[in-house]
Structure 1
Amino acid sequence: MKAFVFIVCLAVSIQAQETVILEKPLPVLTSSGQEAFPEAWRRKPVSAHGEALPEAQISQARVILASALSKHPASVLKANLKAVYVLSELRYRGVVTSGTNSRTCVYLKMGDPKAGYTPAHVEGTFHAEFSSILIRNHPQFLDKEAWQKANPPGFQYLGDGVDAVKQGKAGLKTEAALLEKGFLSQYGCSTLENDFNGLTIRLFAGDATLWALARQYPRIQTKLKIALSFYQQLDPAYTEAFFKSQGASRSSTP
């Protein structure tokens, strides 16, 4: 009988570690349990670790994710994403990270805004991580050959985003020398996926600077066109006008 009670109590304890932030259009959760991560991630060398948001951050997380999810058609969300986990701490492979993704889930860190974890940063990270799931699920819509050709002749991506972080090659600053080569940041040089992610962040933010840079730098222009084509093949709602309007709606918000 004691063993049965212990098992029941343990199950209740595990369930209590997970808190629902949003139910629709899909579950947004916070959790301090390892069950949030795929089983393979719980072991070395990944050793994924997350910590639940404190109660004081739940309402802000709800607002941020409601905004982020509203920018995607419900059909795209339903077909490609099961849940989003928003955590106060997120690390894997020995690196603290703002976000990552599995086959069906996005994981986000929501830290101190003074340390850079602003609402815009958290939302942008969601779009970046979700874009990784989308290009993995729909590779036929992303012209990787054309993307590669937009890079300088002979260029090769570093090959791993975590290694880029460990080597100090994950800067996010926009520099003219990188723009000439077709990259919005140093981190974009790590993998094609991260390169695409960085452009996606600016697209969903309605960043007018992106369109200005595309007019000035032909390689950025090519990548922008490829990204737009990818999203428009996913759903016709992802128009150029839609992306540009995101900046206008953001700037008009009190």
Structure 2
Amino acid sequence: MVVGDPALHRATRAFLNRRSLLLKLAAVATAAGGTYLLLRPGQVDPKQVAARAAVIDQAYGVRIGYGDPASFYVPPYGPRDAIIPDGHATAAAPADVALALDAIAQSLAVYPPGFYASLCKAIFLCGTLRFGNEAAGGTYGPAWIILAADPSVGAGGIRETARLGVHHEFSSLVLKRAPLIEMRWRMLMPADWEPDPTNDQALRHDGGANVQEGFLSSYGATSLENDFNTYAETAFANPERLIALAQDDPVIRTKAALLLEAYAAHDPRIMQTYRKLGLNRIASA
């Protein structure tokens, strides 16, 4: 519950639900450790990192920012909007930013031109991101998302967090603009279901598979928003899995259709993406 100035409540409510994105990737981090060591900060030219970020900005109309997390905002918002309630972020090293950039570009390419930028004006990269004692892979603000390039998960973990986080965090900006979809989604939750009360408690879930009662993972079951995020991440990064599950589970099929409806209501050009990924079979159903 948020108390105090109602204007501050509106400014910060976008930060109230946090998600963990593959931050327990010990196996991936170990396997990718050798690659990561080749990209130590001293071996990365910050000018080249900035140039690569600028290329992505120009191609997709989405600013790629990093550095001091206090600067993570875009106009008309200001420094106060960069504050992450109950969270703390550190600056990312240039080498870790470099690891995330290609994965970000790969995921942005899924969407029709201008679709992503119409809701998300910037993607900011921090180093570590924590809520309480729990590490997180991303969060979002009123018109931007923040992804963690956390060196503790290794090169593979940084890339995968970025690749999935582009879809995962962006979906919250879509859901905020689809109150009727949210209401219909809530009706599909189990009768005895209760969301986790705090961000750090939700982040303790390991994200293991759990397709019972319409959830794609145990982490997705921690809140309605996290459930929606997990569906979006799966739809755009692993559509084959969502299509297969939707064939056999009516709740998953209905949730998936609602997700696709929310995106299409914002911009029907997303149907082009659905056809490319095979998701049009769910949308039509």
Q: What TM-score do the two structures reach when normalised by structure 1?
A: 0.75
Does 2:102 align with 1:63? Answer: yes
- Equivalent AA in structure 1 for residue 183 of structure 2: E
Partner of 1:125: 165
Most deviating of 179-188 and 156-165: 156-165
- Equivalent AA in structure 2 for residue 104 of structure 1: A
Q: 1:242 to 1:234 in 2, by over 3 A?
A: farther
The secondary structure found in structure 2 opposite 1:50 is: strand
Pick from 69, 73, 80 the counterpart of residue 39 of structure 1: 80
Structure 2 distance, partners of 1:86, 1:187, is 22
Structure 2 distance, partners of 1:96, 1:233, is 33
The secondary structure found in structure 2 opposite 1:123 is: helix
Most deviating of 204-213 and 155-164: 155-164
Offset of 1:116 from its aligned partner? 6.1
The secondary structure found in structure 1 opposite 2:233 is: helix
The secondary structure found in structure 2 opposite 1:242 is: helix
Partner of 2:139: 100
Give deviations 1:135-194, integer Å, cap 9, x for gaps. Answer: 11x124x522321222222323224443322xx3x221113xxx2311111111211110
Partner of 2:191: 153
CA contact (8 A) 1:188 1:195 kept: yes
- Equivalent AA in structure 1 for residue 118 of structure 2: A
Structure 2 distance, partners of 1:41, 1:96, is 19
Offset of 1:36 from its aligned partner? 2.1
Partner of 2:125: 86
Give deviations 1:199-242, integer Å, cap 9, x for gaps. Answer: 11111114312111111222111111111111111222323323
Q: 1:77 to 1:127 in 2, by over 3 A?
A: same
The secondary structure found in structure 2 opposite 1:74 is: coil
Structure 2 distance, partners of 1:47, 1:128, is 18
Structure 2 stretches of 5 or more lacking a match? 1-48, 74-78, 280-285
The structure whose Rg is larger is 1
Does 2:63 align with 1:27? Answer: yes
- Equivalent AA in structure 1 for residue 80 of structure 2: E
Q: What TM-score do the two structures reach when normalised by structure 2?
A: 0.67
- Equivalent AA in structure 2 for residue 77 of structure 1: Y
Higher RCO (Cα < 8 Å, 6 or more apart): 2
